[in-house]
Structure 1
């Protein structure tokens, strides 16, 4: 305890000190002192706990001078090693793999990649799930490594930019509407069939339709009629032998015709029939077939 006594005297005089002196105590005593020590102790405990938690977080998150765990900070951006799991959306300008490995995006349900405009609206979407791959965009295009469009799809058309479209399915290709192509061919040593089971099959071109079989025969089968129509030109059947085995035959003519020669007659509606040849035409004699 510190005591201070104050006495006022004048120079040259002597004053006796009084017996009762005033004593002032300076310091913190009693319950205030105990509270102060307790508060300092609490601050020390909090400081130690914060330091321990900071060390634990640094150890668990694998912080290092170059990054955090498998996530490293480089001059080009972030570099992630090993497998990583993202629980929330990932926003990045570019995602690429190492030059000696591939990039794998894997999810337990589906993988969805969205492209948004400046207003936040989705302008393109790629969704991959267990049963279907869905692409939502105004146009879908696949290019070659040279930049040539190989496959393009939009709302109006589907464009295949390869030199040859090959369909390997056992049932061929099914078209519900018209098909426009400069060439339809089969693989070597295989037959080509154009078939419409329940409707009509039509082939048309402004400058002609060419049907060629280099090693085999051409067959045209129909339940109803087969019509060859040329709006401006002729119909040419260029072959060594043209056979029409099921034409109607009219066995009338000269009795001395032992070679059984026939002439082909045409009705006004285009119907063909055979009539036994004679020294003169016999088509008019058998014209009642056209009725």
Structure 2
């Protein structure tokens, strides 16, 4: 009996806790819970959430402002970026531009009415690479020198004429004429092979070796020709004109040897030259000297040979 009473009271308490009757505006009764549970974020969590949302909003505004600023500064448009235009053939850049890092391009052309100028405070280097990335050719222009690296070097004209070619075997001037306009001429440390050496019009031609000998060799002869002047050959020691299989011909209106020595006679007497003229004597060794002429030749009477 006691147990049933307690169960009844417990059931009544549960009903009282779960349902209360209230009267709404229409006068109808509606059940209302005795305990009200609040759903949401409150306290410090709410303040942190609002602060995070505010921070995201500030970052969004700053990013939007920076994007607009970059678009205005870089001059972005539908055709490209400022003076840089993008078309089907590549990129077109107007005006002067500075590149802080290497530039990779297949071809660089200037405008039709202007030249292409590439300058740097240090040096300008152009490299060509193969499929493996190795440098196969390079041209470097620095403040004090210009260097080139490659298997060969070729300069051609607009009509595809080879003007200059150089490789490991030598250098070739394609036009057939090399003109040196310097006041001191050209200096060659080793031998020079050429079919002709000619001076500029109204200028003299001078071949000189200040400290060594000067040799001119040709399988079919050496031709020295001066059309409007003299051909002078000067040496500190000996001058040798040598022909291996031929003659030495001095073809001129007059051949003068003004400083030939006078031969010394073996004996003295009036027979050693009765006339005030001289004859040229040639020794078997090739030495030339003069002897006072007589009735007959006096060369054999000299002791210079």
Normalising by the residue count of structure 2, what TM-score does the alignment of the two structures yield? 0.79
CA distance 1:275–1:65, change in 2 (3 Å): same
Candidates 20, 42, 58, aligned match of 1:30: 42
SS of equivalent to 2:304: helix
CA distance 1:106–1:257, change in 2 (3 Å): same
Other-structure match for 1:8: none
Other-structure match for 1:289: 304
Is 2:115 aligned against 1:118?
no
Which deviates more from structure 2 when the two are superposed, residues 243-252 or residues 168-177? 243-252
Candidates 80, 84, 100, aligned match of 1:67: 80
SS of equivalent to 1:265: strand
CA distance 1:25–1:164, change in 2 (3 Å): same
Other-structure match for 2:203: 190
Runs of 4+ in 1 over 6 A off after TM superposition: none
CA contact 2:139–2:147 (8 Å) conserved in 1: yes
Q: In 2, Cα distance between the equivalents of 1:254 and 1:27?
A: 157
CA distance 1:217–1:37, change in 2 (3 Å): closer
1:227 CA displacement = 0.9
CA contact 2:154–2:166 (8 Å) conserved in 1: yes
1:94 CA displacement = 1.1
CA distance 1:40–1:188, change in 2 (3 Å): closer
Give unmatched runs, 5+ long, in structure 1.
1-17
Give unmatched runs, 5+ long, in structure 2.
1-14, 20-32
Other-structure match for 1:165: 178
Other-structure match for 1:95: 108
Q: In 2, Cα distance between the equivalents of 1:212 and 1:52?
A: 84
Other-structure match for 2:12: none
CA contact 1:251–1:276 (8 Å) conserved in 2: no
CA shift digits 1:128-164 (9 cap, x unpaired) = 2221122222222221111222122223312222332
Is 2:278 aligned against 1:262?
yes
SS of equivalent to 1:289: coil
Other-structure match for 1:230: 243
1:240-279 matches, within 5 Å, as 240-250=253-263, 254=271, 257-258=274-275, 260-279=276-295
1:33 CA displacement = 5.9
Q: In 1, Cα distance between the equivalents of 2:251 and 2:283?
A: 23
CA contact 1:152–1:158 (8 Å) conserved in 2: yes
Q: In 2, Cα distance between the equivalents of 1:214 and 1:254?
A: 46
Q: In 1, Cα distance between the equivalents of 2:104 and 2:150?
A: 20
Q: In 1, Cα distance between the equivalents of 2:242 and 2:75?
A: 82
Other-structure match for 1:4: none
1:211-230 matches, within 5 Å, as 211-230=224-243
CA shift digits 1:67-107 (9 cap, x unpaired) = 11221111111111222111111111111111111212122
Q: How many residues are paired up?
A: 272
Other-structure match for 1:14: none
After superposition, the CA RMSD in angstroms is: 2.6
